[in-house]
Amino acid sequence: MGRITLDKVVKRFGDVEVIPPLDLTIEDGEFTVFVGPSGCGKSTLLRLIAGLEDVTDGQIRIDGNDATDIPPAKRGLAMVFQSYALYPHMSVRKNIAFPMRMAGIPEDEQKRRIDAAAKALNLTDYLERRPGQLSGGQRQRVAIGRAIVREPAAFLFDEPLSNLDAALRVGMRMEISELHAKLKTTMIYVTHDQVEAMTMADKIVVLRAGYVEQVGSPLELYRAPRNVFVAGFIGSPKMNLIDGAEAAKHDCKTIGVRPEHIAISDSDGQWTGRVGVSEHLGSDTFFHIHDTGLAETITVRADGEVGFRHGDTVYLTPREDSIHRFDEQGLRIA
């Protein structure tokens, strides 16, 4: 079981309020991702749940029990750190065994769990090595192994893939998702990478300056961002946000159109502009269009076969049913 409830949780460092009163419930078995720009308080929030930071005010409950003043060791949560935080003086086997040793689990049971974890994480051949002799991806797997064997109520991941290279990151993303599918344990995952958030989460919590901007499934956030910030943060490339006359036509302060919801043509369309930089991904091409009179740049996603060149004049047409409208406060107009 691992239902985690935050009840008006506040964190202050001296006079600085990092987390204003915050309510949040993470359901048992859910994969929740905290996402936001750096300094938004997402790591602090995770550390509060872990117990590595003291809550200034409010209550944290794990499975209904008040855990606010319980030390991290007793909360039954496991954490995977960005820097892996392996014990450099212990072999992989001893690293994985450490939490079980602390819990006083019998040796034969320890061995059984280590072997199972090593098999699941492809670490069987490396059990006698030291962390220093492993690659980044292997180290991260050891850290995950160390977390698994505890059979925790919930896993906490603090930007676990940030130190890995791009190819490895995609692979590890899948592995963590598969692990969640298999274990069905609550997982809380902190990242600044919205692609990780979108691909892995059951539920995304978007944070900015300690405030929860929106909570929802990846597609809810993508389809109906609650405000301009979420609209701009979720989705890659970013949503085009347009102010002024064009927005006024739709009776609002700002309109947002995603790059994939704009048609590009060389003959006719609603807006006119000139092609700037093109990013060719093969399957898709992103065109950055200038001189539209709408915003500095309008990003358009087109099929990989579409071949406009730098300086070409193009015509753009947004999909009318995919225009997001926001009011003066930046809030979504339904």
Partner 1 sequence: MARAASPRRKAITTLAAWSVGLLIFFPILWTMLTSFKTEATAIADPPVFLFFDWTLENYSVVQERSDYMRFLWNSIIIAGGSTILGIIVAVPAAWAMAFVPGRRTKDILLWMLSTKMLPAVGVLYPMYLIFIQMGLLDTRIGLTIVLMLVNLPIIVWMLYTYFKEIPGEILEAARMDGATLKEEILYVLTPMAIPGIASTLLLNVILAWNEAFWTLNLTAAKAAPLTAFIASYSSPEGLFYAKLSAASTMAIAPILILGWFSQKQLVRGLTFGAVK
Nearer to partner 1, 99 or 256 (CB): 99
Nearer to partner 1, 95 or 292 (CB): 95
* Binding residue (CB under 8 A) for partner 1 from 19, 62, 78, 144: 78
Please tell me whether residue 11 binds partner 1 under the rule CB under 8 A: no
Please tell me whether residue 77 binds partner 1 under the rule CB under 8 A: yes
Q: Which stretch binds partner 1 (CB under 8 A): 72-80, 193-201, 243-251, 322-330?
A: 72-80
For residue 284, how many C-alpha atoms fall within 13 Å in the half-sphere facing its CB? 11
Nearer to partner 1, 150 or 301 (CB): 150
Name the CA dihedral angle for 248, 249, 252, 257, rounded to a multiple of 10 degrees: -110
Please tell me whether residue 150 binds partner 1 under the rule CB under 8 A: yes
Q: Which stretch binds partner 1 (CB under 8 A): 54-62, 78-86, 108-116, 320-328?
A: 78-86
| CA torsion through residues 87, 90, 93, 98, sign | negative
- 81-100: contacts with partner 1 (CB under 8 A): 81-83, 85-89, 98-99
Please tell me whether residue 67 binds partner 1 under the rule CB under 8 A: no
Query: Cβ of residue 13: shortest distance to partner 1, in angstroms?
Result: 13
Token pair in block for residue 318: 């947004």
Q: Which stretch binds partner 1 (CB under 8 A): 26-34, 48-56, 237-245, 256-264?
A: 48-56
Q: Which of 276, 280, 272 has the alpha carbon at shortest distance from 317?
A: 272
Nearer to partner 1, 52 or 195 (CB): 52
Q: Residue 111 CA to chain centroid, in angstroms?
A: 34
Beta strands in 132-239, from DSSP E residues, in sequence order:
154-158, 186-191, 203-208, 211-216
Please tell me whether residue 72 binds partner 1 under the rule CB under 8 A: yes
Nearer to partner 1, 103 or 263 (CB): 103
CA distance 231 to 251: 18
Please tell me whether residue 79 binds partner 1 under the rule CB under 8 A: yes
Q: Which residues lie closer than 8 Å to 188 by C-beta, 6 or more apart?
A: 4, 26, 32, 33, 34, 46, 49, 154, 155, 156, 157
Nearer to partner 1, 147 or 206 (CB): 147
Q: Which residues lie closer than 8 Å to 46 by C-beta, 6 or more apart?
A: 34, 79, 156, 158, 188, 190
- 89-148: contacts with partner 1 (CB under 8 A): 89, 98-99, 102-103, 146
Nearer to partner 1, 155 or 326 (CB): 155
Please tell me whether residue 247 binds partner 1 under the rule CB under 8 A: no
Instruction: Say which amino acid occupies 284.
Output: D
Query: Which bin fits 200, alpha (ψ -120 to 50), beta or left (φ > 0)?
Result: alpha
Give yes or no for a contact between 42 and 35, defined as CB atoms under 8 angstroms apart. Answer: yes
Collapse the DSSP code of 334 into the 3-class scheme (helix H, G, I; strand E, B; otherwise coil) and give the result: coil
Residues in contact with partner 1 by CB under 8 A are 50-52, 71-74, 77-79, 81-83, 85-89, 98-99, 102-103, 146, 150
